[in-house]
Structure 1
Amino acid sequence: MDNDLQGKKTGHRELPKRQVVLTMAGVMLAMFFASLDQTVVGTAMPRIITDLGGFAQYTWVATAYIIASTITLLIAGKLSDMYGRKWFLIGGIAVFIVGSILCGTSQTMMQLIAFRAFQGIGAGAIMGMAFIAIGDLFSPAERGKYVGLLSGVFGLSSVIGPTLGGYITDNLSWNWVFFINIPFGILIMLLFIFFFPQLRPGVRKHRVDYAGIITLILTVVPLMLALSWAGVNYDWLSFPILFTFAFSLAMLLLFIIVESRAKEPILPLWIFRNRIVSVSSLVTFILGFGMFTGIIFIPLYFQGVLGTSATASGGFLTPMMLGLVVGSVISGQVLSRAGGHYRLQGTAGIIIMALGFFLLSRMTVETSYATAVMNIAVMGFGLGITMPMYIIAVQNAVPYSVMGIATSTNAFFRSIGGALGLAVVGSLMTHRFATEFKEGLPPEVSAVVPSEQLSSIIDNPQALVSPEAQDQLRSFFESMGSQGAALFEQLLSTLREALNSALTEVFLVALGVIAVAFIANFFIKEIPLRKHL
Structure 2
Amino acid sequence: MEKTTQRKMVTTAMLVSILLVAIDTTIVTTAMPHIVEQLGGLNLLSWVFAIYLLTSSVTTPIYGKLADLFGRKSIFIFGIVLFVIGSMVSGMAQTMYQLIIFRGFQGLGAGAVMPLTFTIIADLYPGEARAKMQGVFSSVWGVAGLLGPLVGGLFVDHISWRWIFYINVPIGMVAIFLVLSFLHETPLEKSKKIIDYWGAALFTLSMSSLLFALISGGQVYAWYSVEIILLFTAAITFLTAFLYVETKAQEPMLPLSLFKIPVIAVSNAVGFVASGVLIGVNVYLPIWIQTLLGHSATSSGLTLMPMSFAWPLASTLAGQFMYRIGSKATAVFGAVLIMAGSAWLLLVHTGSPYWYFVGVMVVIGFGMGFSFTPLTVLVQSAVGWNLRGAATASNTFSRSLGQTVGIAVFGTVFNNTMNQSGMAQGLHVVFILVFAISMVTLLISILLPSHRSIMAQQNAD
> What's the counterpart of residue 337 of structure 2?
352
Q: Please say if residues 429 and 506 of structure 1, whose CA atoms lie closer than 8 Å, have aligned partners that are also in contact.
A: no
Return the offset for 1:316.
Answer: 1.7
Return the offset for 1:49.
Answer: 6.2
1:90-110 CA deviation, whole Å, 9 max, x = no partner? 321122122223334456655
User: TM-score when scaled to structure 1?
Assistant: 0.72
1:123-158 CA deviation, whole Å, 9 max, x = no partner? 111123334445545678776665554343223323
Query: C-alpha separation between the residues in 2 aligned to 1:409 and 1:387?
Result: 14
Amino acid at match of 1:124: G
Q: Does 1:99 align with 2:86?
A: yes
% same residue: 31
Instruction: Give me the CA root mean square deviation.
Output: 4.0
1:165-223 CA deviation, whole Å, 9 max, x = no partner? 34334544444332211222122233334555747897653111211121111111111
> What's the counterpart of residue 126 of structure 1?
113
Query: CA, structure 1 residues 139+400, in 2 after alignment: closer, same or farther (shift >3 Å)?
Result: farther
Amino acid at match of 1:245: F
Q: Please say if residues 76 and 125 of structure 1, whose CA atoms lie closer than 8 Å, have aligned partners that are also in contact.
A: yes
> What's the counterpart of residue 205 of structure 1?
192
1:440-467 CA deviation, whole Å, 9 max, x = no partner? xxxxxxxxxxxxxxxxx762524x5xxx
How does 1:176-195 map onto structure 2 within 5 Å? 176-195=163-182
Q: Please say if residues 53 and 404 of structure 2, whose CA atoms lie closer than 8 Å, have aligned partners that are also in contact.
A: no
> What's the counterpart of residue 315 of structure 2?
328
> What's the counterpart of residue 309 of structure 1?
295
- The structure with the largest helix share of the pair is 2
Aligned residue pairs: how many?
455
> What's the counterpart of residue 285 of structure 2?
298
Q: Please say if residues 39 and 161 of structure 1, whose CA atoms lie closer than 8 Å, have aligned partners that are also in contact.
A: yes
> What's the counterpart of residue 72 of structure 2?
85
SS of the aligned residue for 2:447 comes to: helix
Q: Does 1:247 align with 2:234?
A: yes
Query: CA, structure 1 residues 284+53, in 2 after alignment: closer, same or farther (shift >3 Å)?
Result: closer
Query: CA, structure 1 residues 171+282, in 2 after alignment: closer, same or farther (shift >3 Å)?
Result: same
Q: Does 1:412 align with 2:375?
A: no
Correspondent of 2:433 among 502, 506, 527:
506
> What's the counterpart of residue 469 of structure 1?
none
> What's the counterpart of residue 390 of structure 1?
375
User: TM-score when scaled to structure 2?
Assistant: 0.82
Query: CA, structure 1 residues 239+271, in 2 after alignment: closer, same or farther (shift >3 Å)?
Result: same
Q: Does 1:76 align with 2:63?
A: yes
Query: CA, structure 1 residues 175+418, in 2 after alignment: closer, same or farther (shift >3 Å)?
Result: closer
Query: C-alpha separation between the residues in 1 aligned to 2:12 and 2:245?
Result: 39
Correspondent of 1:517 among 425, 444, 450:
444
Q: Please say if residues 285 and 415 of structure 1, whose CA atoms lie closer than 8 Å, have aligned partners that are also in contact.
A: yes
Amino acid at match of 1:509: A
Query: C-alpha separation between the residues in 2 aligned to 1:290 and 1:49?
Result: 23
Moved more, 401-410 or 50-59: 50-59
Q: Does 1:115 align with 2:102?
A: yes
Query: CA, structure 1 residues 105+74, in 2 after alignment: closer, same or farther (shift >3 Å)?
Result: same
> What's the counterpart of residue 3 of structure 1?
none
Q: Please say if residues 286 and 417 of structure 1, whose CA atoms lie closer than 8 Å, have aligned partners that are also in contact.
A: yes
Amino acid at match of 2:449: F
> What's the counterpart of residue 355 of structure 2?
370
Query: C-alpha separation between the residues in 1 aligned to 2:288 and 2:95?
Result: 33
SS of the aligned residue for 1:521 comes to: coil
Higher-Rg structure is 1
> What's the counterpart of residue 471 of structure 1?
none
Return the offset for 1:378.
Answer: 1.3
Query: C-alpha separation between the residues in 2 aligned to 1:364 and 1:189?
Result: 47
1:359-390 CA deviation, whole Å, 9 max, x = no partner? 33455666544344223201111202333443
Q: Any gaps of 5 or more consecutive residues in structure 1? A: 1-10, 435-456, 465-494
Q: Does 1:31 align with 2:18?
A: yes
> What's the counterpart of residue 257 of structure 2?
270
Q: Please say if residues 279 and 523 of structure 1, whose CA atoms lie closer than 8 Å, have aligned partners that are also in contact.
A: no
Q: Please say if residues 149 and 305 of structure 2, whose CA atoms lie closer than 8 Å, have aligned partners that are also in contact.
A: no
Q: Please say if residues 47 and 408 of structure 2, whose CA atoms lie closer than 8 Å, have aligned partners that are also in contact.
A: no
Return the offset for 1:317.
Answer: 1.8
Amino acid at match of 1:157: A
Query: C-alpha separation between the residues in 2 aligned to 1:382 and 1:244?
Result: 35
> What's the counterpart of residue 365 of structure 2?
380
Query: CA, structure 1 residues 58+237, in 2 after alignment: closer, same or farther (shift >3 Å)?
Result: same
Query: CA, structure 1 residues 353+210, in 2 after alignment: closer, same or farther (shift >3 Å)?
Result: same
Query: C-alpha separation between the residues in 2 aligned to 1:71 and 1:248?
Result: 14
Amino acid at match of 1:324: W
Query: C-alpha separation between the residues in 1 aligned to 2:314 and 2:147?
Result: 18
Moved more, 391-400 or 160-169: 391-400
Moved more, 121-130 or 365-374: 365-374
Query: C-alpha separation between the residues in 2 aligned to 1:226 and 1:140?
Result: 46
